[in-house]
Amino acid sequence: MLPKKFIFQYHEKLPPKYQVLRSIEEKELKNFLSYFPQGIISLDLETTGLSPLLHQVVEISAIKITPEGKIEIFDTLINPLVPIAPESTAIHQINNEMVKESPLFSHIVHDFIDFIGDIPLLAHNAFFDIGFIIGELHRQKTLFPKNEVFDSFKLTKELLDKKIIKSFKLSNLAKHFHLDCTNFHRSFEDSFCCLMIMLKIFQDQTKYSLQERPAPLTKLNFYGEISLEDIPEHLSDFYQLKKDDLFLLQYKGKSIKERQRPVQMVSILPMPQGQMLYALCLISKQYKYFSIKKVEGISLLSNEDQKELLKNYPHEKK
């Protein structure tokens, strides 16, 4: 099943899911494009869990406003190749049966990159969504695009009156702006709601004291390559490590009481939250990611010490 990709035309017959696009007014687009002449792409992902390094994408949708004011859609379920836990299905209503015939992320990643081009991206709590995109791009070894990223959660907190709006969740903002958004935690509906909130705000720029386009949260290509400068000098031994090397990690985390934990190297990934070490913890026998900011030190091990460590902590490779 291929992703749904099409250019919206007001006169077209649309599936019920996409009928809400007709509520977008041309004057709203015109006002918005005066601030975002490159256009905008509002996107949302649904996933199997909260960690972009441990969990998988199950749905991705993006609504593109082109510089000419045309509306284009990218919308697909994704087969995560792992079971979707009932607690995740309870949130987004996507189950294993729904995704079993859907494409893998690796099958659609190039189509998605072509779709977004270099147009700015918009998402609600954007670091969550782009964290998963960044994780997937790393796994696919794909060239990172240079899109600016804007966060509607951050922007609404800065622009709207906190005395009137107590919560900046998407559902509460939709209610505030009287938007016809009900099926929250599905990608198309959330990306549409996010877009409409921004259109309403930029439609009434005087009310919200908008003088110019706000600054972006980040850029996607910031996370494409690891720089030696990003690793603190006291952790320079990281650059001697290869994939599958065993070493001792001194970490500030609370889950394991030992001062040093034995781990097996997988990779270091640039992520929105900062550089992350992705490694197998031999004590818990779980693949985890560790913030480089919280790493106090590492101890390299000789080949003999690594072999001895494996005797004490036998495990199966992922």
Q: Global pTM?
A: 0.78
10-26: average pLDDT? 82
Enumerate the CATH 3.30.420.10 domain ranges in the chain, comma separated.
Answer: 4-223
**Do 276 and 237 touch, CB atoms closer than 8 A?**
no
Task: Look up residue 117 and give its DSSP letter.
Answer: T
Tell me which of 179 and 255 has the higher pLDDT: 179
Q: Which of 55, 107, 110, 178 is catalytic?
A: 178
pLDDT at 318: 46
User: What are the DSSP calls for 21-69, one per residue?
Assistant: GGG--HHHHHHHHHH-TT-EEEEEEEESSS-TTT--EEEEEEEEE-TTS
Tell me which of 39 and 255 has the higher pLDDT: 39
**Do 274 and 213 touch, CB atoms closer than 8 A?**
no
Q: Does domain 4-223 have CATH number 3.50.50.60?
A: no
Enumerate the CATH 2.30.30 domain ranges in the chain, comma separated.
Answer: 228-312
Residues 179, 191: Cα–Cα separation, whole Å = 13
Is residue 257 pLDDT above 60, yes or no?
A: no
**Given 2.30.30, 2.60.40, 1.10.1740, 1.10.3470, which CATH number is that of 228-312?**
2.30.30
Most confident of the following: 27-41, 44-58, 154-168: 27-41
Active site residue 55: no
Write the pLDDT tens digit of every residue in 181-193: 888 899 999 999 9
